[in-house]
Amino acid sequence: FRGRLVAEGDDLMLVELLTGEETQTRVPQAMQDEILMLLGCFAAYKVQHIFREGNQVAHVLCKEAYQRPGVWAGGIVPHAVWEKAQDDVHGVAHERLCKKKL
């Protein structure tokens, strides 16, 4: 690959693991090794945390993958994912919803 990469994720523990800020994790070692190997394919990379509301395309894509497992090929994107991508293109902001304390 050899380019530069900024990878954003809404799993704070995974981000902290990949940036060396966390050592204990529920992420299997083989998965950690594979992610780090892939990141190493780039000349430079940065891994940073983003809240789910700022990562809607990836969040909806993951939900779709759980509901409809398999491989999507030929440029076919699930409608729900396409809608979130269009929101991103148009700069739609998503509020961070916090649970109310009782």
Instruction: Look at the chain and report how many structural domains it folds into.
Output: 2
The chain-wide mean pLDDT, for the chain, equals: 82
Q: How far apart are CA 69 and CA 46, in angstroms?
A: 30
Residues 84 and 46 in one domain: no
Distances in Å between the alpha carbon of 70 and those of 59, 63, 65, 67? Answer: 17, 13, 7, 10
Return the residue matching tokens 């693991």. 17
Q: Which domain holds residue 96?
A: 52-101
Residues 44 and 7 in one domain: yes
Residues 40 and 57 in one domain: no
pLDDT in tens, 46-92: 999 988 777 888 888 888 877 877 766 677 778 888 898 888 888 88
Q: What confidence score (pLDDT) does residue 16 get?
A: 92
Last residue of a domain, one of 50, 68, 86: 50
Q: What confidence score (pLDDT) does residue 42 get?
A: 94
Where residue 98 falls among pLDDT bands split at 50, 70, 90? low
Last residue of a domain, one of 50, 67, 83: 50
Q: What confidence score (pLDDT) does residue 10 get?
A: 84
Q: What confidence score (pLDDT) does residue 84 get?
A: 86
Q: What confidence score (pLDDT) does residue 82 get?
A: 86
Residues 65 and 37 in one domain: no
pLDDT in tens, 14-58: 899 999 888 877 888 898 899 999 999 999 999 999 887 778 888
Residues 74 and 43 in one domain: no
Residues 40 and 73 in one domain: no
Burial 33-56 (b: 16+ CB within 10 A, else e): eebeeebeeeeebebebeeeeebb
Asked if 22 and 13 count as a contact pair (C-beta separation under 8 A), the reply is yes
Residues 66 and 39 in one domain: no
